[in-house]
Amino acid sequence: MLRNEGSLEKKFAPLGYAIEWREFSYGSPILEALSGGSIDVGHSGDAPVIFAQAAGIPFVYIAATDESPESAGVVVRKNSPIQNFGELRGKTIAFAKGSSSHHLVAQLLTRAGMTFNDIKPAYLQPADARAAFESGTIDAWAIWDPFLAAAELDGDGRVIATGAGFNGHREYYFARKEFLAAHPEVVAPLLAALVEVGVKAKQDPKATADFLAGKLGISAAVMERSEYRKQRYNARPLDGGIIQEQQEAADTFHRLGLIPLEIKVSENVYQGPP
C-alpha cells in the first residue's frame, strides 16, 4: 500500500532521499540482504530478527506492530485423522527455518510437552511447503497469512492450531545499524507513513483485501479472511513489554538449541540519535 500510494517517496523527497523497493519471500532473506548492505530498512516477523541478532547481523529494531496471533497457524489436510497439535508426534511438519512459523512451532511444542526431537521438521520456504502440503508428502504445515487463509479456502487445509494464547506474533521494522547511525532522520517519516497507511488499511479491511488481491494475484476471499484477522499494523517504537516478548522468544530458541548463544534483545533496539 505504501508503494502504491507513493507515501514514502513523498515524505523522503524533501530530505533528499530516493526510495528503492526490493521484494523478498519472507523475513530471513531480508536480514541477509541487510547484512550484505544491499538494503537499508526492512521488516519481518518475530523470529528472523532473533536469528539475525544471534548471527551478529548489524541491525537495530526501530518499530513493532500490534500482535496478530491468529494470523499464523498449523494446517493439516481435511481428510487427515489428526485433530490437534499433540497428535503430530513423529509426524513431518513443514515451516521456513528461522521464520515466525518456526517460533510458533516451538511454542506449540512446549505447550504440548514435546521438543523438536518429537517431530520431523521439514525446512521449506512457503512456495515449496505449499507444494509439499498439496502433494501429501508432509503431514502438516506451519504458516502465516495470507498463505494460511489460502490453505483454508483455496486448498485442502484444516487449521488445528494458531498463535492464539501466545505472546508476540508481531512484525518488526529494522534498519542497518551503520545506515541508521548516519541517517537517524529517516525514522520519524518512516513511522509516520506506516501509521498513516495502517489506519487506512484497518478502516476498510474489505477494500484493503481487494487491493492486495489484485496486486498479489490471490483471491479476494483469501485476502478478506487474512485482513479481518490481521492486526499487524500500528507500527510504533518498542516498549519494555514488547522487548520482553522478544527476549522470551530468544530465550526459547536458545533453550532449544536453535541459536548458539544467549542474546539480549534490548542491545539491538534503537534508542534515538546520540
Structural domain harbouring 80? 69-162
CA 189 to CA 193: how far, in whole Å?
6
- Same domain for 141 and 188, yes or no, is no
- Same domain for 60 and 100, yes or no, is no
Digit-coded pLDDT (tens) for 173-192:
999 999 999 999 999 999 99
Cβ–Cβ contacts within 10 Å for residue 191, how many? 16
Query: In this prediction, what percent of the chain has a pLDDT beyond 90?
Result: 72
- Same domain for 143 and 157, yes or no, is yes
- Same domain for 94 and 149, yes or no, is yes
Q: Is residue 273 part of a domain?
A: no
Q: Is residue 20 part of a domain?
A: yes
DSSP H helices, 217-273, are: 220-229, 240-255
CATH code, 54: 3.40.190.10
| First-to-final CA distance of the chain | 32
Mean pLDDT within 251-260:
88
Cis peptide before 121, with omega less than 30 degrees from 0?
Answer: no
pTM here is 0.86
Mean pLDDT rounded to a whole number for the chain: 92
**Per-residue pLDDT at 106:** 92
The residue with greater pLDDT, 124 or 100, is 124
Please name the residue that has the C-alpha cell 523522503. Answer: 12
Q: Is residue 28 part of a domain?
A: yes
CA 131 to CA 126: how far, in whole Å?
9
Residue 63 burial (C-beta neighbours within 10 Å; 0-12, 13-18, 19+): buried
Q: Is residue 79 part of a domain?
A: yes
- Same domain for 59 and 87, yes or no, is no
Mean pLDDT within 89-116:
93
Q: Is residue 219 part of a domain?
A: no
Asked whether the beta carbons of 24 and 2 are under 8 A apart, the reply is: no
**Per-residue pLDDT at 131:** 95
- Same domain for 195 and 60, yes or no, is yes
Which of 103, 131, 162 terminates a domain? The answer is: 162
- Same domain for 115 and 251, yes or no, is no
Mean pLDDT within 142-147:
93
Digit-coded pLDDT (tens) for 209-222:
999 898 888 899 99
- Same domain for 173 and 259, yes or no, is yes
Kindly tell me if the per-residue pLDDT of 223 is higher than 70.
Answer: yes
How many domains, the chain?
2
Q: Is residue 146 part of a domain?
A: yes
Q: Is residue 184 part of a domain?
A: yes
Q: Is residue 25 part of a domain?
A: yes
- Same domain for 114 and 81, yes or no, is yes
Locate 69 and state its grid cell.
496471533
Digit-coded pLDDT (tens) for 40-73:
999 998 889 999 999 999 999 999 998 888 899 9
CA 140 to CA 123: how far, in whole Å?
12
- Same domain for 258 and 136, yes or no, is no
- Same domain for 89 and 144, yes or no, is yes
Which of 107, 134, 162 terminates a domain? The answer is: 162
- Same domain for 37 and 86, yes or no, is no
